[in-house]
Structure 1
Amino acid sequence: NGRNSYSKTDTDASFMRMKDDHMRNGQLKPGYNVQTGTENQFITGFSLHQRAGDPGCLKPHFDLLEKYGRRLPNNLIADSGYGSEENYSFCKEKKIEAYVKYSTLDKEQTKKFKDQIGRVENLQYDEEEDEWNCANNKRLTFQYNSNRKTENGYTTIKRVYRCVDCHGCPFQEVCAKGKDTKTISVSMKNQEQRRQVRERLQTETGSQLYRRRKCDVEPVFGQIKYNRGFNRFHLRGLSKTTLEWGLLCIAHNFLKWETHLRLKEQKEIKREPKAG
């Protein structure tokens, strides 16, 4: 079914690199990619996937929520693993405000990154001429478009630019990696998306929302995996493991709700006036 691996003991499971790698050798183990949405540490939706990468799981996750009549969020807060052109486009289509970093956002602020003169982020774009200028003020002109389709059917259009005047350039070794010509492949749509994300995250609202991610979704996985000792599925097959994770989510929400009510009751008791 389009996968490049499967387990003989659970044919629905794909081989993935796990975060808990006790041997520290990057060994592959059969598993499922669990996607879980939270709000105030309550689980609002979940989905299991047979692919290891997170970027391609976002759209199917939300598609599943819509299938069962669940409301999509107004704001999406997620780590840089979800910062792809496809996901940004999907959020815009669904009118979801995306507070999602892309992979190089934090690195772009460092001196080491800025010194890498061959990176697209450090080249200057001339919109009027549709050309890129390198550190030696050489021009990279447009050559052709390159299309790439994701597993979800989304098509990314990348424009390929090339500099034909690299010979004798003092930056050729670091910029063109020793090649005769410097070539870059750029999605102009994604460049605009990244600009919008940078501006959104720099606002006071964006900064506050993104800071909430670590104290919202991470504790949920910590409670289930470590505090309750659930570090592997006990059932086999996509349908059964989905059911198993669903029961865990229900239990988590019930326990969270019970704690919420208890704390609320304690506050009300403290507010009651004492008899004179």
Structure 2
Amino acid sequence: TDNESAKMLTSKGTIQGYNGVAAVDKKHQIIVDAQAFGEGQEHHTLKPVLDKIQQRYAGAEFGSLIEDQIVVTADTGFANEANYAYLKEEEINAYVPDNAFRSRDPKFKSQKSDHGKRHQDSVKGVKKVIPASEFKLNKRNKTCICPEGNQMWLHTESIDDYGKMKLAFEGKLTDCRNCVRKHECMRNPSSADTREGHGRQVSFTVNTSKSPTAWMQRRVDSRYGKQVYGHRMSTVEPVFANIGTQKGLNRFSLRGKQKVQGQWQLYCLVHNIEKIANYGAIN
């Protein structure tokens, strides 16, 4: 009944609603911008939030995010190629990791095997198959070896506008047809039994050194980047905990983006007033 809302994935399942986004100052935990968005994904909200902060800084004569080299951190929900390109082009000093940044960190090398759930499909009811991570990709030679040691053929190769290369491989029909693991490797094993069918297909996205994603990965994976991003959770998460748990805003009670945003900003305003009242006299 609310055309401005969207489906939101939460810990309690999917709901129809809005996503409250807030930007928080690290030193004082003051909310410097708060907006509500009726979209299921967060990544498109990064630019509107930063643009609003830029306007607020200019109005308060604080300079700008770029001139003052303000450090911006955001979680993986804001990570995509378009955002990285925007941050790089605008020269914003930001650290926004991608979903795989933990796997590149030696400290978390065994995290997935020790605590993660492996071979899980994102769509309920879809057959589980051997994941692409089990296939050996050689980026330099653009070759791929399946878990059974058979070389796959390069089906397609493309490069997008951001310089990211996509390599799609397919198993040879003779290899997949006679493979003892084809029932756990292919969602439709019978496809390899006909000449018109296909073998196992797998694709990889390769970040070239010039892509915005590679630029951000170098920043996040650096020693300084890890140190900076390590402060994000202690900066913004307590603010959301205060609003959600202490102030009781565990869901929006209104309809329409304008009303929901008013409710969200009102709670954020109460948070700021409380911070100023308790700690405003402290330098």
- Compute the TM-score of the two structures, normalised by the length of structure 1: 0.68
Q: Out of 10, 15, 31, which is 1:28 matched to? A: 15
How many residues are matched? 246
User: In structure 2, what is the equivalent of residue 12 of structure 1?
Assistant: 4
> In 2, distance between residues paired with 1:169 and 1:27?
39
Is it true that 1:212 corresponds to 2:231 in the alignment?
A: yes
Once superposed, what is the RMSD of the aligned Cα atoms?
4.0
> In 1, distance between residues paired with 2:181 and 2:6?
44
Residues 78-97 of structure 1: matches in 2 within 5 Å? Answer: 78-97=74-93
> In 2, distance between residues paired with 1:233 and 1:18?
14
Deviations 1:104-134 (A, max 9, x none): 4436734478x97954445444444333333
> In 2, distance between residues paired with 1:259 and 1:253?
10
Is it true that 1:43 corresponds to 2:55 in the alignment?
A: no
Counterpart secondary structure, 2:207: helix
> In 1, distance between residues paired with 2:36 and 2:50?
12
In the TM superposition, residue 158 of structure 1 has moved relative to its aligned partner by 3.9
> In 2, distance between residues paired with 1:89 and 1:80?
15
In the TM superposition, residue 94 of structure 1 has moved relative to its aligned partner by 2.6
C-alpha contact (below 8 Å) 1:88/1:98 kept by paired residues: no
Letter in 2 for 1:51: E
Letter in 1 for 2:150: K
Q: Compared with structure 1, are the counterparts of its residues 177 and 200 closer, same or farther at alpha carbon in structure 2 (3 Å cutoff)?
A: farther
Letter in 1 for 2:144: W
C-alpha contact (below 8 Å) 1:32/1:49 kept by paired residues: yes
> In 2, distance between residues paired with 1:74 and 1:249?
22
Q: Compared with structure 1, are the counterparts of its residues 171 and 106 closer, same or farther at alpha carbon in structure 2 (3 Å cutoff)?
A: farther
- Compute the TM-score of the two structures, normalised by the length of structure 2: 0.66
Q: Out of 203, 210, 218, which is 1:185 matched to? A: 203
User: In structure 1, what is the equivalent of residue 46 of structure 2?
Assistant: 58
Deviations 1:205-250 (A, max 9, x none): 2222222111111111122222122334454421232233233333
Deviations 1:42-66 (A, max 9, x none): 2122222111222333234334445
Deviation larger for 77-86 or 63-72: 63-72
Q: Compared with structure 1, are the counterparts of its residues 126 and 27 closer, same or farther at alpha carbon in structure 2 (3 Å cutoff)?
A: closer
In structure 1, runs of 5+ residues without a counterpart are: 1-6, 265-276
Tell me: higher relative CO, structure 1 or 2? Use CA pairs within 8 A at least 6 residues apart: 2
User: In structure 2, what is the equivalent of residue 272 of structure 1?
Assistant: none
> In 2, distance between residues paired with 1:118 and 1:170?
13
Letter in 2 for 1:186: F
What percentage of residue pairs aligned between the two structures are identical?
Answer: 24
User: In structure 1, what is the equivalent of residue 169 of structure 2?
Assistant: 161
Residues 93-132 of structure 1: matches in 2 within 5 Å? Answer: 93-106=89-102, 109=109, 110-111=112-113, 119-132=131-144
User: In structure 1, what is the equivalent of residue 260 of structure 2?
Assistant: 241
In structure 2, runs of 5+ residues without a counterpart are: 59-63, 120-128, 193-198
